[in-house]
Amino acid sequence: MKAVVINEFGGKDNLTLADLPTPEPAEGEVLVRIRAAGVNPVDWKIREGWLKDLFPHEFPVIPGWDLAGVIEDTGHSVKRLAKGDKIYAYARRPVIQKGTYAEYTAIPESYITRSPDSLSFEESASIPLAALTAYQAIYDAVKLREGQSILMVGASGGVGGFAVQFANLIGAKVTAIASEKNHAYLRDLGAENTVCYTKDDYDEQIQRIYPSGADVVFDLTGGDTLKSAVNYVKADGKIVSITEDPQPHLPADKGIRSHFVFVEPNVKQLDHIRELVDSGRLKTYLSSVHPLADVQKAHTEMETGHTRGKIVLNID
């Protein structure tokens, strides 16, 4: 099978197309013919070696944690799904090695579920990691409620787009921070207010919207942005980040609760997301689609940190 591999950590030039044996499904596994794979910021961070102390790895590494495809074969004891089923998955394993930038993967049935009927393979592959991250932040971590206010910092990427929609479905009041070119897109997803982070009156705009602070701040950027984001949370409010633990940056006297979310595989949540998609209540946006051979171009685009929606690899 064709697969993208890295044989050592480093730049995008280390991404090479290789011929590897097609895996065989073990007991409890299915063989998936991958038709599309999502590209996420975590992929290039893994490629660079930034997460090598967080996750064990074995070279050669096939990157990628998102997939959509068709079940080609099943191992013994597979019961829930069958050959020919169209599926999608967030396919992070305990060891970084067998990723989704490949024509095939053998993966436990417990990782996968049926993909949305209304979407293409490319659209389905754009969903699992980003939508699950937003879902687990909005529903599980901060338990956002109807009528609450939420400020999202860096809202135009894959996770942010889903987070705006989830918050809107709950009935929360969303303010999205992003470049001005993405404001119409975010309002279409359900943001009530939009703020451009490059404007001189950036802080004043947020203060006008939230004089006492927002109930929840969702940081999708990290670094200095996270340090300043804590100033926008009201006393006894909540802040959640998907980049780092906000706790060290919090003032001690405001009773702000913090959460750090690193997404976990969850088939039940993917089933709920599929229902939302097929009912027309949740949508995805593809920034670009690249063939597998153009994976370096896809990583170049991802590393800018300014994409709208999701980047996907087509694997035909």
Whether residues 39 and 98 share a domain: the answer is yes
What per-residue confidence (pLDDT) applies to 198?
Answer: 82
Is the same domain home to 181 and 76?
A: no
Domain of 204, CATH number, reads: 3.40.50.720
pLDDT above 90 (res 316): no
- Domain containing 300 equals 2-127+285-314
Q: Does residue 256 share a domain with residue 134? A: yes
Mean predicted confidence (pLDDT) in 224-252: 92
Same domain, 120 and 138: no
Given pLDDT bands bounded at 50, 70 and 90, which one contains residue 224?
A: confident
Whole-number Å distance between alpha carbons of 86 and 71: 7
pLDDT of 111: 97
Q: What is the mean pLDDT of residues 224-248?
A: 93
Task: Report the distance separating Cα 235 and Cα 219, nearest Å.
Answer: 17
Categorize the per-residue pLDDT at 104 as very low, low, confident or very high, splitting at 50, 70 and 90: very high
Report whether the peptide linkage leading into residue 60 is cis, meaning its omega lies within 30 degrees of zero.
yes
Q: In angstroms, what CA-CA distances link 271 with 13, 114, 180?
A: 37, 8, 34
> pLDDT-based confidence at 89, cuts 50/70/90?
very high
In the Cβ-directed half-sphere of 293, how many Cα atoms lie within 13 Å?
1
pTM beyond cutoff 0.85: yes
Q: Taking a C-beta distance cutoff of 8 angstroms, is the pair 38, 290 a contact?
A: no
pLDDT of residue 253: 84
Q: Say if 50 falls within a structural domain.
A: yes
Q: Considering the chain, what is the average pLDDT of its residues?
A: 96
Assigned domain for 40 exists? yes
Claim to verify: residue 94 and residue 157 sit in the same structural domain: no
Q: Establish how many alpha carbons lie within 13 A of residue 184's alpha carbon, considering only the half-sphere containing its beta carbon.
A: 1
Domain boundary among 245, 260, 275: 260
**High-pLDDT (> 90) share of the chain, %:** 91
- The mean per-residue pLDDT over the stretch 250-255 comes to 88
Q: What separation, in Å, do the N-terminal and C-terminal C-alpha atoms of the chain show? A: 11
pLDDT digits (tens, 9 = 90+) for 256-311: 999 999 999 999 999 999 999 999 999 999 999 999 999 999 999 999 988 899 99
Beta bridge partners of 30: 74, 107
* Mean predicted confidence (pLDDT) in 167-189: 97
Residue 223 has pLDDT above 90, yes or no: no
Write the pLDDT tens digit of every residue in 44-64.
999 999 999 999 999 999 999
Q: Would you state the pLDDT for residue 251?
A: 87
104 & 9 share domain: yes
Answer yes or no: do 117 and 157 share one domain.
no
The confidence score (pLDDT) of residue 280 equals 98
Higher-scoring residue by pLDDT: 201, 314 = 314
